[in-house]
Structure formats: C-alpha cells, structure tokens
Structure 1
Amino acid sequence: MQYWYNVDTAQVESDDDRSPNANVMGPYDSPEAAQNALQTAHEKSEQWDEEDRRWNDEGQR
C-alpha cells in the first residue's frame, strides 16, 4: 500500500482514502515517510538549489 500527504489537511492518507492529486504529495512507502513529506521536499529543494549554485558558479569560469 502507498501513502500520501494531504497538504490541505496535513493528514496522511492511504490509497483507500486518497484526496485528488492537487491536494496530495506522494506516493510514499510508509505513513511515517508521508508524514515527513514537507520536510523531505524542503531538504531536496535545498540540495537542488545548492547544486544549481555550484553548476552556475562553475559555468562562469
């Protein structure tokens, strides 16, 4: 079973009770991973921003 994080309600949902795509993040393999969806997204965004900064800095040399 997969799990989803509902950004409107801040609740974890399963495949059985999932809201429309526009309201959820996922899928995740566990309820815990779904509950941490916003933190995971933030961490990945920070990582990608840093990679972009390095790419841009190296490209200007």
Structure 2
Amino acid sequence: MSDDAQYWYNTETGQVEEGRRSSWTHLMGPYGTRAEAERALESARARTESWDGEDEEWRGKK
C-alpha cells in the first residue's frame, strides 16, 4: 500500500474501497484513512446538521 492511498465509502454496498473501483455515483470520498471512510455517513450527517443550524441562524430562525 502506498503512502498516498485513498479510501472511498461505497453507499450502495456499505463497504470501504481502497482506491476508486466503483462508479462515482456510489462513492463518498476520498478519505485519507480506512477509519475516516468507515465514518463517512456519520461525518456527512454531522456536517449537514451543522450547516442546517448555520442556515437557520442566518435566516434569523434561531
């Protein structure tokens, strides 16, 4: 494995792939480590919630 390996989370299979092997339509990433890729959905959910809160504040709803 090279130092610049990238990991991708496949939303169709729920598996982590080393290197981009599947269609981009099913991949989230790249991530620097397998562990980061395994937490892809959790990270995306947290970012979305944060951005939603920022949007509400910007619109004066909080």
TM-score, with length taken from structure 1: 0.88
Q: Which has the larger radius of gyration?
A: 1
CA distance in 1, matches of 2:29, 2:52: 21
Match of 1:5 in 2: 9
More helix per residue: 1
The answer to whether residue 22 in structure 2 is matched with residue 19 in structure 1 is: yes
Find the residue that maps to 1:50 and give its secondary structure: helix
Structure 1: runs of 5 or more not aligned: none
Count of paired positions: 57
Letter in 1 for 2:52: D
CA distance in 1, matches of 2:40, 2:17: 12
Percent same amino acid among aligned pairs?
Answer: 44
Coordinate RMSD, CA, aligned: 1.3
| Aligned-pair CA distance for 1:18 | 2.0
Q: Which runs of 4+ in 1 moved over 3 A?
A: none
